[in-house]
Amino acid sequence: MDKVEVTEMILSKKKQTGITWASIADAAGMSEVFVTSACLGMNSMPRDKADRIVTYLGLPQEAGPVLAEFPTKIFDQAVPTDPCIYRLYEIVGVYGHTLKELIQEKGGDGIMSAIDFEMYVDKIPDPKGDRIEVKMSGKFLPYKSW
């Protein structure tokens, strides 16, 4: 059993039961964004949290160690065609340099870490049309001179 197979089992169980990522995250006692990412194979989970998800979803016990395995973070380098993912690429394309400038102006010569990182996604009601709010918080890592 590998990460792809476990992801397929999780997605199948979600479709069959109608459960949400939030409920899976609650079962694990972890962030909805992180749990979703780990279930999609892009992060590893602490073994006890992985086992909670396996139990909650009724998956084979062999899936727990797979969710806890360190991932190989390989993703397609081409611009995706899925509209939701494409728009995120568009945001980075349009605002990426702006974000870099502002991060470095406020923090100095460095980057925002995706290793020490948190992200939240919320739907915000608005009279002009509902909005999606994405909050990201990553540790600032200064470049070092030597």
Closest CA to 35 of 5, 17, 56, 15: 56
Residue 113 lies in a domain: yes
Q: Do 8 and 64 belong to one domain?
A: yes
Residue 78 lies in a domain: no
Per-residue pLDDT of the chain (146 residues; tens, 9 = 90+): 999 999 999 999 999 999 999 999 999 999 999 999 999 999 999 999 999 999 999 999 999 999 999 998 877 788 889 999 999 999 988 889 889 989 999 999 999 999 999 999 999 999 999 999 999 999 999 998 78
Catalytic residues: 87, 90, 113
Closest CA to 33 of 44, 22, 19: 22
Q: Do 97 and 64 belong to one domain?
A: no
Number of domains in the chain: 2
Q: What is the pTM of this model?
A: 0.81
Residue 48 lies in a domain: yes
Q: Do 63 and 88 belong to one domain?
A: no
Residue 37 lies in a domain: yes
Residue 77 lies in a domain: no
Which residue range forms the structural domain that includes residue 111? Answer: 83-142
